[in-house]
Amino acid sequence: MRILMGWNVGGFRMAAPVMLGLMLPSEVRSDGALAIGMSGDIAKDGLAFGRSWNYPDRADAEKRALEQCRSFEDAPQRTRDMCRLLATFKDECIAIVIDPKAGTPGFGWAVAGNSKTAQERAMAACKATAGKSREKFCEPDQVKCDGSSK
């Protein structure tokens, strides 16, 4: 996984450690990407995201993730305008966890070698940003695996 950018949300750094993958030929591996649009106040401004997985190359994966983020219907235009590429990955899983109630700050994401670990890390990030009163409402929104990961 390659972290391209991180944000501070509610005092929590929204980025995981950089992890190096195995150097395999591109024919064997697939590419994925995550793009997120958000201000420092998710409760006020909402959140937009786009993700891709199993793309033949990184450029296509990045393009698709940004397209999805910029057209995310549940976010205001000003939030979609903030979409930036956040991470790229190969043969890994991505998890996005949110507090589904509008106007709440709970949000987390993670990329890991398997879906269970990605979901656990994203859940921890969501709970950290949601606060004590909302952490129990964090729930997986999307968990997708790329290439050979499960």
Mean pLDDT of the region 96-100: 94
Rg (CA), the chain: 15
Confirm if 9 and 44 have CB atoms less than 8 A apart: no
With 80 as the cut, is the pLDDT of residue 138 above it? yes
Mean pLDDT of the region 72-81: 94
Query: What's this model's pTM, rounded to 2 decimal places?
Result: 0.75
Q: What is the pLDDT of residue 21?
A: 32
Query: Any idea where the domains of the chain sit in the sequence?
Result: 2-145
At 42-56, the pLDDT tens digits run: 888 989 999 999 999
* HSE value, Cβ hemisphere, 13 Å, CA-based, for 135: 9
Mean pLDDT of the region 2-17: 41
With 60 as the cut, is the pLDDT of residue 117 above it? yes
Which helix (H) or strand (E) segment holds residue 98: the answer is: strand 93-98
At 55-69, the pLDDT tens digits run: 999 999 999 999 999
Q: What does the block give as tokens for 34?
A: 């995550």
What's the CA gap between 127 and 42, in Å, rounded?
Answer: 14
| pLDDT band at 147; cut points 50, 70, 90 | confident
Q: What does the block give as tokens for 62?
A: 């990045």
With 90 as the cut, is the pLDDT of residue 28 above it? no
